[in-house]
Amino acid sequence: MHDIEPYYKWRDRYIASEDKLSPFYQMQSDQFKFTHKIYNYWIHPQWDSFGSETLYLKVLFVDYELRFAVIELIGEWNDCLNNDIMMLKRDLIEALQKEDICKFVLLADNVLNFHGSDDSYYQEWCEEVSEERGWVAILNARQHMQEEMVQTGLQHYINFGSNLDVIMWRNKTAQQLLQAVEEVLNNEVKQLYY
């Protein structure tokens, strides 16, 4: 796991530690010293901690005009034991929402497991972004994670699975990714009504 770096090809356009509005502003990462572990496995020092013992992230991109953020995750998402959603919501998401971000793309390519608890934080997040015509989308969650999310009832509050998982996001700009996600979400809404 120590070789898996956060996606870096958008760094010429956005770096969270250089963004005065970011919760990670002026955060320094040692390029050579490993400080974070997921269980007994060191992870690359570029991943940022938000308080979880098993889930780390990197804010890859924020666009304050288009009101969206792209966040990459690594590890195990555990709401059952660690209440990861509470820490994510309170320590990162709410700070971004204060800056009018209402569209969230969560990249789950490197998330190995999801353990759900209840849906209250997801419901709160959904209600808050819906007021602003926003949404939350998770891309590339593994099938067993999606099944656990459905068992927890998260499909009522966040978007995941189906056509979101076929978006080839690594060959896009952040704005192209936003457009691709919105196209999928708009097409799925249209299918519900027609």
Q: What is the CATH number of the domain that holds 52?
A: 3.30.750.24
Q: Residue 100: is its pLDDT beyond 80? A: yes
Contact (Cβ atoms closer than 8 angstroms) between residue 155 and residue 149: yes
The predicted-structure confidence for 172-194, as pLDDT tens digits, reads as follows 999 999 999 999 999 876 454 43
Q: Residue 66: is its pLDDT beyond 50? A: yes
Establish if 48 belongs to a structural domain.
yes
Establish if 8 belongs to a structural domain.
no
Q: How wide is the angle at C-alpha 109 spanned by C-alphas 107 and 112, nearest 5°?
A: 120
For the segment 49-75, the average pLDDT, to the nearest whole number, is: 97
Ranges of beta strands (E only) in the chain are 37-38, 41-42, 55-63, 68-78, 103-115, 135-139, 159-160
For the segment 27-35, the average pLDDT, to the nearest whole number, is: 77
Measured between alpha carbons, how far apart are the two ends of the chain, in Å?
Answer: 45
For the segment 106-111, the average pLDDT, to the nearest whole number, is: 98
Q: What share of the chain is helix, strand, coil (3-state, %, to 5)?
A: 35, 25, 40
Domain that holds residue 165: 16-193
Establish if 40 belongs to a structural domain.
yes
**Mean pLDDT lowest for which of 35-39, 61-65, 116-120?**
35-39
- Evaluated on CA atoms 134, 52, 46, 96, the torsion sign reads positive
**Mean pLDDT in the chain?**
93
Establish if 147 belongs to a structural domain.
yes
pTM: 0.94
> Count of domains in the chain?
1
